[in-house]
Amino acid sequence: MLKHRARAVFLIIIAAAIGYWVYSSSIVGATTPASKPFRLGLDLSGGTHLVYSADISKLAAEDINDSMSSLRDVVERRVNLFGVSEPLVQIEKGGALGGGEGAYKLVVELPGVTDVQEAVRSIGATPSLEFRLVSDKDMRAFQAKISEFSSTTEQEAAYLKLFTSTGLTGRLVSKATVEFNTTTNQPVVGLAFTSEGRDLFSTITKEHIGDYLGIFLDGNPISVPVIRDQIVDGKAQINGTFTVDEAKKLVRDLNYGALPVPVSLISTQTIGPTLGAAAVNGGIKAGVISFIIIAAFLILWYRLPGFIAVIALAVYTVLVLAIFKWIGVTLTAAGIAAFILSIGMAVDANILIFERMKEELARGRGIWDAMHEGFARAWLSIRDSNISSLITGVILYYFGSNSVIKGFALVFVIGVLVSMFTAITASRMFLYAVAPGKTTKLSKFLISNGFTKSKI
Amino acid sequence: MWVVKHRKIFYTFSLLLVAACIVSLFVWGVKPGIDFTGGTLVEVSYPGGRPDQDAIAAQLSAIDSAASIRPAGEDGYIVRMKAIDQTEKAQVMEALSLKGSTQLVEKTFDSIGPVLGVEALRKSMVSIVLVILAIVLFITFAFRKVSEPVSSWKYGLTAIIALIHDVVIPIGAFSVLGHFLGYEVDTLFVTALLVVLGFSVHDTIVVFDRVRENLKHGTGKKSFEHVVGESIGQTFTRSINTSLTTLLALIVLYFVGGDTTRHFSLALIIGIAAGTYSSVFVGSPLLVTIQQWSAKRKGGK
């Protein structure tokens, strides 16, 4: 008896400590290092959820994984530039079930960002670098009639038309670096071409000495140098009027810029912050109210064991919430629903045990025998029914088509596992600690339940 | 036991309900959500009072003639239309604000490409099939040692029938609700169905477990019908009470949990209620019916 009580008290103290931690670490605005708020999903915190489908049709099968992970890195870098706290960028592989176009997906989550247009632009941005030629003759002709244009836009358009593509693009750049012009100390961007690019560059510079080779970034000429000699070493410099920062940015974009796999946006989701707050409040309210109603029902129907079940349920709630924090479960509206559902299901094992105890009492066993038998004999049903819940949860997790369903499944599975501990082990500990030692009329009443006297 | 004795009444009730659901499914079908069909769902509110619905419809029809608009809350609209990209979204927002003449707040914007929808549909189908298969295999396995007088796979079969019953009823209910109130069937609804499957089998297992135990300890003189009836009687309260606590939690969730999960909790409430009914009043009596059929067949030979 004493042993049971000591264990029960110990468990309650631990649960209370964990409960205090869950509570104190959730206070919004707490600055203590221990602060660890719940991680809220986009539907609760507000933000943008983007799904891109990646076009892998031009990739060799063995390159797909590498390309996809470098795609992830590039997009992650761009998203980080966006200054979002805790963005999420991940690759989703459709696998056998996905098939077709949606087989490889890139999912981007931007909490707090509701200006999708800006986000989409910065993610999809591809700095296009291109070398275009214009012959010396055409350039002179253009300059000769420069005064004839009626407007500067017209002049610009005509100017851009002079240039012809060479096929030499950013794709053939192997590396870009920030360099400094030795005489002017101006930052310049040094380019090294791939071997294919080197050959092409060499041919172009050989055949067009005296002509102009314009360097175009995103369709705008940033520098139009004259070709003086053939260049065979595959190196070039862009002499724009860069500031150091601009040069650095250009280098970064050229090195990491172009997305290694073409992507197209197939799903956009934006959730305003007020809607999410309403869902959180509703979820908390629903959790508290259902806890109270279930507790009232348990105590009224199951008396002393019912009271024990309520304590076990409180331990359950605390443990599950703590696990959410420990392993960083991202809570969504569906996840909160799963948690509330699990509060209703967590006491199922208790109900099975207590009903069984009542039966054993009716068979004429003493209180302690009835309790032992109740726990022992209800175990099979509890095990079997929880296994069926786990089967559902695991399948939902693996085949859930989106993060909402996966979030639901994860919470559901955690709930089932924790409830097996609290409803069986913890309940038994508590019940043994407080159970009346003698089998009297009163103690039988306390342990029994329902309206009718126990009978079979 | 009255449940087993009057089982035909309960069968009839279930059959009628299931038949009604199937008829509704054939006549009205279900309204699939945009996560299955692909499409766009925008919710906006107008702090300065919402403009006339027809005016907005006229603006929107230029972009998608099939766009549907319905009022939401005090001062907003929910628009459903084809999947759109960012450029089209700007046009839609302009249309919704009547070319910028009214102030508007974008509450949610959800656009899903058709490819993603097809994938979600396929995954949903696969998970439903997998859950049913896994549960039936599990029950067959768990009851493998019970072979007299009903072999273990028949417990599995009975469970399937009960499971189909429990899934058809919420689908039928949402078909009716979809027709009259525009309730949609989305991935969250499918999740609810799967949870119903897992939960409904709980209650079935509790009764089956008791049948298994009573058969083992039985003197062998009692008829199978009697054993099943006795088992239902012994587990009746716990079947009801386990569902009751879960239903209580869900009902609270339905009323105070917020809009996002309201339809989800409704689907669960309907499904779990149907599941509890089928475990007690359909599943277990069916064991008796199956046993009597096979006994007759043997006797006839």
Tens-digit pLDDT profile for residues A292-305: 999 999 999 988 88
Q: Mind telling me how many Å the CA of B291 is from chain A's nearest CA? A: 23
Of B138, B248, B264, the CB nearest to A294: B248
CA distance A139 to A149: 15
Phi and psi at residue B228, to the nearest 5°: -65, -45
Confidence band, pLDDT 50/70/90 cuts, at residue A25: confident
Average pLDDT, chain A: 81
SS3 assignment for B61-110: CCCCCCCEEEEECCCEEEEEECCCCHHHHHHHHHHHCCCCCCCCEEEEEE
Measured between CB atoms, which of A272, A396, A412 is closest to B107?
A: A272
**Beta strands, E only, chain B:** 31-32, 39-45, 68-72, 76-81, 105-112, 184-185
Does residue A128 have a pLDDT over 80?
no
Report the pLDDT value the prediction gives residue A127, as an integer from 0 to 100.
60
Average confidence score pLDDT of chain B: 86
Q: pLDDT by residue (tens digit) across B58-113?
A: 888 888 888 888 888 778 888 888 888 777 888 888 888 887 788 888 888 888 88
Q: Decide if B238 and A393 are in contact by the 8 Å CB cutoff.
A: no
d(CA A419, CA A409): 15
Helix then strand then coil, % of chain B, to nearest 5 = 70, 10, 20
Cβ neighbours of residue A86 closer than 8 Å, sequence gap 6 or more: A111
Residues of A in contact with B110 (CB under 8 A): 268-270
Mean pLDDT comparison of B147-161, B221-235, B265-279, highest-scoring range: B265-279
Instruction: Answer whether A405 sits within 8 Å of B86, measured CB to CB.
Output: no
- Decide if pLDDT at A154 tops 90: no
Q: Do B253 and A389 touch (CB under 8 A)?
A: no
Q: Answer yes or no: are the C-beta atoms of B139 and B201 closer than 8 Å.
A: yes
What is the mean predicted confidence (pLDDT) over B237-248?
91
SS3 A170: helix
Instruction: Give SS3 for B290.
Output: helix
- Spatial separation of the C-alpha atoms in residues A224 and A216, rounded to whole Å: 9
Which residue of B34, B75, B256, B279 is the best one to mutate when testing the A interface, meaning the one whose CB has the most A CBs within 10 A? Answer: B256
B36 or A251, which is more confident:
B36
3-class state of residue B147 by DSSP: coil
- CA gap B161, B237 in Å, rounded: 23
Quick one: pLDDT at residue A70? Answer: 75
Residue A114's pLDDT band, with cuts at 50, 70 and 90, is confident
Coil, strand, or helix at residue A237? strand
Q: Which residue has the higher pLDDT, A89 or B222?
A: A89
Task: Round to whole Å and give the CA distance between A81 and A123.
Answer: 10
Q: Sort out which chain B residues have CB atoms less than 8 A from A286's CB and list them.
A: 252-253, 255-257
pLDDT of residue A419: 92
Q: Per the structure block, which two tokens stand in for B112?
A: 């899903």
Q: Is the link from the previous residue into B149 a cis peptide, with omega within 30 of 0?
A: yes
- Look at residues B44, B103, B53 and name the one whose alpha carbon lies nearest to residue B72: B44
| Model confidence at A375: pLDDT above 70 | yes
First to last CA, chain B: 30
Over 60: is that where the pLDDT of B268 sits?
yes
Number of other CB atoms surrounding residue A27 within 10 Å: 11
pLDDT at position A454 over 70: no
How far is A329 from A45, CA to CA, in rounded Å? Answer: 14
At A28 the pLDDT is 58
- What pLDDT is recorded for position A48? 86
Which of A196-205, A220-229, A283-292, B221-230 shows the lowest per-residue confidence on average (mean pLDDT)?
Answer: A220-229
CA distance A142 to chain B (A): 37
Amino acid at A438: K
Q: How confident is the model at residue B299 (pLDDT cuts 50, 70, 90)?
A: low
A124 closest CA partner among A92, A73, A78 = A78
Q: Is the pLDDT of residue B300 over 70?
A: no
What number of other Cβ atoms are within 10 A of residue A249's Cβ? 16
User: pTM of this prediction?
Assistant: 0.78
What's the CA gap between B233 and A353, in Å, rounded?
Answer: 16
pLDDT at A125: 63
Residue B80: closest CA among B123, B52, B29, B41: B41
Better-scored residue on pLDDT, B299 or A406 = A406
pLDDT of residue B6: 87
Mutation target among B235, B259, B260 for the A interface, most CBs of A within 10 A: B260
Reported as a pLDDT band with limits 50, 70 and 90, residue B115 is: confident
pLDDT (mean) for A194-202: 85
- Contact criterion met (CB below 8 Å) for A237 and A188: yes
How does residue B265 score in pLDDT terms, banded at 50, 70 and 90? very high
How large is the average pLDDT for residues B196-204?
Answer: 84
Q: Average pLDDT of A253-281?
A: 76
Instruction: With beta carbons less than 8 A apart as the criterion, state whether A377 and A353 touch.
Output: no
**Are B130 and A387 a contacting pair at CB < 8 A?**
no
Residue B13 φ then ψ, to 5°: -55, -50
Beta strands per DSSP E along A68-172: 88-93, 104-111, 129-134, 164-169
Of A117, A268, A348, the CB nearest to B202: A348
In this predicted model, which residue has the larger pLDDT, A254 or A194? A194
Interface A-B: count of C-beta contacts within 8 A: 231
User: How far is the C-alpha of B30 from the C-alpha of B26, rounded, in Å?
Assistant: 9
* Partner-chain contact B199 A117, CB within 8 Å: no
Contact A208, A227 (CB under 8 A): yes
- Give A169→chain B minimum CA distance, Å: 28
* Nearest-angstrom CA–CA distance, A311 and A433: 13
* Beta strand extents in A10-146 (DSSP E only): 39-40, 47-54, 88-93, 104-111, 129-134
What was the pLDDT predicted at B101?
80
Cβ-in-10-Å burial (0-12, 13-18, 19+) of B287 comes to buried
Q: Sign of torsion, CA B151 B154 B156 B162?
A: negative
Q: Which of A117-121, A124-128, A296-300, B229-233 has the lowest mean pLDDT?
A: A124-128
**DSSP 8-state class, residue B145:** T
Residue A241, class by beta-carbon neighbours within 10 Å (0-12 exposed, 13-18 middle, 19+ buried)?
exposed
Tokens of A2: 């004493």
Q: For position A456, what pLDDT does the model report?
A: 38
Q: Take residue B263 and report the two structure tokens written for it.
A: 């339809």
Among the partner-chain residues B109, B187, B210, the one whose CB lies closest to the CB of A402 is B187
CB–CB of A31/A223 below 8 Å?
Answer: no
Tokens linked to B287? 């064991």
Type and span of the H or E element at B16:
helix B7-27
For residue B67, the number of C-alpha atoms closer than 13 Å in the C-beta half-sphere is 25
Residues 6+ apart with CB under 8 A from B30: B171, B174, B175, B178, B184, B185
Q: Which among A98, A347, A408 has the least Cβ separation from residue B245? A: A347
The answer for A 296-325 residues in CB contact with B (under 8 A) is 297-298, 301
Residue A440, chain B, CB below 8 Å: the answer is no
Strand partners, B226: none
Is residue A137 helix, strand or coil?
Answer: helix
How far apart (Å, rounded) are the C-alpha atoms in residues A4 and A431?
9
| Contact between B195 and A341 using a beta-carbon 8 Å cutoff | yes
Model confidence band, residue A260 (pLDDT cutoffs 50, 70, 90): low
Range from B101-110, B113-122, B264-273, B286-295 that averages highest in pLDDT: B264-273
Residue A373, pLDDT above cutoff 80? yes
Q: How far apart are CA B252 and CA B229, in angstroms?
A: 34
In the predicted structure, residue A320 carries a pLDDT above the cut 90? yes
3-state helix, strand, coil in chain A (%, to 5): 60, 15, 25
pLDDT-derived band at A97, boundaries 50, 70, 90: very low
Res. A253 pLDDT band, cuts 50 70 90: low
The position carrying tokens 């919420």 is: B170
